[in-house]
Structures are given as C-alpha cells and as structure tokens.
Structure 1
C-alpha cells in the first residue's frame, strides 16, 4: 500500500511539474501584457532582456531594410545601393538603441505595431496609447522550441500585419522577452 501511495504521489508531482513547466510562459506573457497596459516600468524591466531584445530587433530591421532596398526600383545604381547597404546597419543600430525603452515595449505590446525602418519617426509620431487597446489586439501563442515561446500580436485594424514577440526561458520556470520576429507567421505558429 505504501508503494502505491508513493508511486501515485510521485506521478502527481511529475504531472504538476510538467504542467507548470509548460504553462509558465503563458503566465509570463500575461504579466508582460499587464505591465504594458498599466505602464509598469519596473515590471517591464524585470520581464524584458533589453540587450538581447535590441540585438534581435536590429537583426530583423536590417533584414527588412535590405529586402526593401533590393525591391526598390531606384536601387539600380550599384554605388548608391552599396553605400546604402553599408550605412543602413549603423542607422538602424542607433535608432534601436534610442527607441527600445520600457515605454516603447509597452506601446508595441498594446498596439501590436513594430517600428518601421523606412518611416521617419519623431517622438511626436509615436503611436497613441489608445491605438491598440485590449479589445483590438489579438494574441496567439506557440512554442518555437523548448526554450522559445512566441506571442504573435495582431491588431484588428491591421489584420495583415503581425508582430511576434519571442520569450526565452530563464531557468526552469522563468521567461523574459528577448527577441522579435517581424516575418509573416506560419500556420503552425498559433495555438
């Protein structure tokens, strides 16, 4: 009888551990969303790995900028095109370093809108805080791998645009926002 009780208790602990392990990113996403809605900078600083997020955003924006430059019919001049390719990463890097703050993360989560490297942005042109309310931003969740959890945000005003925030596992149950994916989500990226 003791053996059955021990086996049952151990099985229950394993199931509980696996459930908590699998659901922990959902709780982290809910915390991130709540902090973004309330403007809780301290919580956002705890929930975001700013150096990794900046690096990821730079990579994504540089890739998007290069793709746009290649698609631009005015890029036939190889000298100007080459110069643009050399200068673009520096410009994007400076922009991202200045842009990625707790307030910017909050705005991105509330509006489901990523920064556009081709759009001239002034502080006065930042999206309004009311632009993406909880009623207009839809979330879909999916594991990308065992340690990466993607939260794809879609604003109902722009259903063709998606913003995927990548949460990375920190320890057994901890998660931090550490990346962004601006590419179009695939059909199996949503739960």
Structure 2
C-alpha cells in the first residue's frame, strides 16, 4: 500500500469518526425535533418511540403535587377559600396527569404550555395540529377571546450530563421557567422522561 493510499485511508477513517461523533452529539436535537413534529401532528405511534410515558406520568404527578403544595403554602395566611380550592386541585392531580401524559400533552409541553395545576385543566388541542396554533392556545380552558395569544416561548437546550438533555422554556422575563428532560436510550436514541415545573 503506497503512502498516498495510506494517507487517504487514514483521512477517510478520521472523517467517518468525526461524522459519527457529530451525529452522536446532535442526536438529542434530532430526537427533540422529531418528537415535537410528531406530537404536533398527533402521531401517537411516533410519539411513543420518543416518550417514556410511565416515567413522564410519574414526573408529572410529582411536579404537579409540588406545585400545588407551594400554592397552598403561599396561601396559608390568606383566604381560606383559596386553600380549599388548592386542596380540591390536589384531588384532581390524577386526571390532570393523565391528560398531559398523552400526545396532546406532550405537544403542549414542547410548545411552551406546561400544566399549571388548575382544577379541570387539560392540554390545549390544536385543530390543525400546527405548533403555531398550539402556541397561541390558551393554557387551561380559557377561550382566546378572554386571553390574548401568547408569544412562542424562549427556548434553550443543551446537555446536563452525558446521558441527560434538557430543554428549558420561558415566555418572558417575569414568567417562570420549566424544563423538559430527555434521557439517552441507547447510543443515539433519546426519550422524554420528565418535566421540571420549577425550571
């Protein structure tokens, strides 16, 4: 084998290795794009490939319960009726979690509309499945005539660790942040496994 042939072979191996590493690094961004498009289109079969629904359901239950606990703690010195309302909301955690652990709920979460822990809350459903109409949908059963359309959230995404990828959403400087958390599921596969409603 001549020196030129060896150099070309080495360069080809290095190029393949760099491309493979680049693909591995980009894999959570690709997974995020695919699951978001599938959720917006209500493609349940594809969403199932990118979401660990039992883990997401457990995370939602924990996060919504913590949200309601914080709300009760804030309102303890206030109106007793508000505390009763929060306690009723706590009783409705199960149905709320079940409604968000669906393709509609995943679409809402990935479009900047997390659960707020309001009684009877359900994720908005976009009539045409587009992310634009979903992003402008009201948060919890309030009609668009009562609430102005929301701007798309500011989104940041990145690795938290080698096997954890986090997408953080925020609508504005005064709004609370929340995060969607993906875990590696194989070398280049990722699944949505949790939300962090505290940001």
TM-score clears 0.5: yes
TM-score range, shorter chain: 0.7 to 0.9
- 1:32-51 maps to which residues of 2 (within 5 A)? 32-51=35-54
* Residue matched to 2:144: none
Distance 2:161 2:73 in 1: 31
* Residue matched to 1:120: 119
Distance 2:198 2:26 in 1: 25
* Residue matched to 1:104: 105
- 1:29-178 maps to which residues of 2 (within 5 A)? 29-74=32-77, 88=90, 92-93=93-94, 95-110=96-111, 112-117=112-117, 119-122=118-121, 126-127=123-124, 129=126, 130-132=133-135, 136-155=152-171, 160-178=175-193
Unaligned runs of 5+ in 1: 185-191
1:21-50 C-alpha deviation (Å, 9 max, x unpaired):
100011111111211222222211221110
- TM-score with structure 2 setting the length: 0.71
* Residue matched to 2:146: none
- TM-score with structure 1 setting the length: 0.74
Post-superposition offset of 1:163 = 2.9
Post-superposition offset of 1:6 = 3.7
Unaligned runs of 5+ in 2: 127-132, 137-149
The answer as to whether partners of 1:41 and 1:103 remain within 8 angstroms in 2 is no
The answer as to whether partners of 1:132 and 1:155 remain within 8 angstroms in 2 is no
Cα RMSD over matched residues? 3.1
- Aligned partner of residue 104 in structure 1, secondary structure: helix
Distance 1:3 1:28 in 2: 37
Distance 1:26 1:7 in 2: 30
Post-superposition offset of 1:145 = 0.8
Could you say if the C-alpha distance between residues 172 and 179 of structure 1 is closer, same or farther in structure 2, counting changes exceeding 3 Å? same
Distance 2:174 2:19 in 1: 37
Distance 1:10 1:148 in 2: 29
Distance 1:91 1:135 in 2: 29
Q: How many residues align?
A: 171
Distance 1:137 1:178 in 2: 21
